[in-house]
Amino acid sequence: MNNQEKPLLQPIKIGNLTIKNRVAMAPMNMNYTDPGNFVSKQQCAYYAARAMGGTGMIIVEAMKGTGHEISNNYKKYNNLAIYNETYVPKLASFVEHVKSYGAKIIAQVSIGPGAQGTRDVGAVQPVAASPIRYRIVPSKLITGMGSPTNIKPTLALARTLGYQEKISTDLTKAFEQIVNVSGMHMVGEMPREITKEEIKELVNDYGYAAKCTKLAGFDGLEIHAPHGYLLHSFISPRLNQRTDEYGGSLDNRLRIIKESIASMRKYVGPDFVIGVRMSASVEISGDITPEHTNESAKKLASYGADFIHLSDGSYECMSDFLPNKDGQVIAKAKIIKQGLTIPLICPSVHDPKLADEAVRNGDVDMISQGRQQIADPEWVNKYAEDRTEDIVRCTRCNEGCIKRFMVALPARCTVNPVVGHEEDIDVYAKRSPESLKNRHWQTIAQIGKEPSA
């Protein structure tokens, strides 16, 4: 098959932005950020490696879109930040570095982890749409964390984190025991209900973060509303028990995202790409289903969203959030795409044949990869060169990426020894030689387009 016949290598338009192929890198916090939430040299090189590998669109890990303390209960993981101009100069250089290798770059911007946050390292109590804590479902554990009948991997991680007391052999009880001592995210702290005044502040901050995102040269922005975080708690009929205008009907539960998009458009205008990431479903009674997400996605398109990027599950349903099986979200994506007029991106498709089929059949418009891009940044190039047998396959072991992240260590990979050391490799640490000949940064005129009314 020549490249013109390969579905994944065909260009696609998102709003006014043309992406050279149908493969996106999904956002994943790797714990590489410099102190103070500033971008690091390692992050520049890490993302550049994936751009060099042919990936059409890079979506950068969740960046703080507000400095408000109620959004800061994920501070132990030191996310990047973009809520004021202090962060823009280094991010602008980072963006130029990655774009010099031909990829488009999108900033995923977050206004808080919601109930999935923690008071660790001095943060305040988590906030959410309603005061409902999360509990991991034992049957929904990710690879490497055990099962309801085998808690040894969970026990080993708890011991690593310093919990030395006897742990129950009942996994649910074990989660309850170790959560507040070891720092493991097994049972969440009780969040308080966020106030309407705080919502207004965060919505306004989201708009200003969009301004900074555009100023830094990003090609677009992705609103962070998936897998159990703050905005997800508003979308979910199970987690949102509010009786004000932000609860009840679907229109009300989506109101905070609608207002956020409007706030952003005031600063960036109608042409800057704004997408939304959201979970396809949460497989707990009374929560969102693919049919529910289909309805939500169509409403978000009417509010001005330019694309929908799916995730799945939440901390409660970890093996949906971080799938143990390849392509397990495709069937849900097929339902969600019905009647949707903007591009739909489906995550966690590692096998090229499966990805080809999903795009060719029209089940999805693009696929995104997180852990697979960690394992092999050259995935797209190898696919384009008919060298799929050379692709280093992610084993979904979660040892170097997820489990190290859980204990606030920088990510590594069991099948790619280079991960975490890209800054030491000149070809990644330096910009493309072509970038010295061809401008790939934005002029002031391009940044300062007339804002929408």
**pLDDT for residue 275 is more than 80:** yes
Q: Summarize pLDDT for 241-259 with one digit per residue, the tens.
A: 999 999 999 999 999 999 9
Task: Please give the residue that has the higher pLDDT: either 403 or 224.
Answer: 224
**pLDDT for residue 175 is more than 70:** no
- The pLDDT confidence band at residue 73, using thresholds 50, 70 and 90, is confident
Whether the CA torsion 179, 183, 186, 191 is positive or negative: it is: positive
Tell me which of 38-47, 67-76, 86-95 is least confident: 67-76
Average pLDDT in the chain:
91
CB-CB contact of 405 with 62 (8 Å): no
Q: What is the pTM of this model?
A: 0.93
Query: CA 308 → CA 20, 128, 239, 342, 431, distances in Å?
Result: 18, 22, 21, 7, 31
- The pLDDT confidence band at residue 302, using thresholds 50, 70 and 90, is very high
Q: Summarize pLDDT for 436-448 with one digit per residue, the tens.
A: 667 777 788 778 7
Whether 87 is a known active-site residue: answer no
**pLDDT for residue 398 is more than 60:** yes
**pLDDT for residue 181 is more than 60:** no
> Which of the following is catalytic: 229, 246, 267, 383?
229
Question: How many Cα atoms within 13 Å fall on the side-chain side of residue 223?
Answer: 35
Q: What is the mean pLDDT of residues 286-296?
A: 98
- Distance of alpha carbon 7 from alpha carbon 357, whole angstroms: 8
pLDDT of res. 441: 74
Q: What is the 3-state secondary structure (H, E, C) of 54-66?
A: CCCEEEEEEEECC
**pLDDT for residue 62 is more than 70:** yes
CB atoms within 10 A of CB 146: 19
pLDDT of res. 453: 38
Residue % of the chain over a pLDDT of 70 = 93
- Distance of alpha carbon 393 from alpha carbon 442, whole angstroms: 36
**pLDDT for residue 334 is more than 80:** yes
DSSP class of residue 425?
S
| Phi/psi of residue 345, nearest 5 degrees | -110, 130
- The pLDDT confidence band at residue 406, using thresholds 50, 70 and 90, is confident
pLDDT of res. 173: 72
Token pair 């950068």: residue: 60
- The pLDDT confidence band at residue 450, using thresholds 50, 70 and 90, is low
pLDDT of res. 377: 98
Query: CA 201 → CA 111, 157, 206, 305, distances in Å?
Result: 10, 38, 9, 21
- The pLDDT confidence band at residue 198, using thresholds 50, 70 and 90, is very high
pLDDT of res. 161: 67
Q: What is the mean pLDDT of residues 148-154?
A: 70
Helix (H, G, I), strand (E, B) or coil at 361: coil
Tell me which of 106-110, 188-192, 275-279 is least confident: 188-192
- The pLDDT confidence band at residue 452, using thresholds 50, 70 and 90, is very low
Tell me which of 106-115, 120-129, 183-192, 393-402 is least confident: 183-192
pLDDT of res. 182: 43
Q: What is the mean pLDDT of residues 111-140?
A: 89
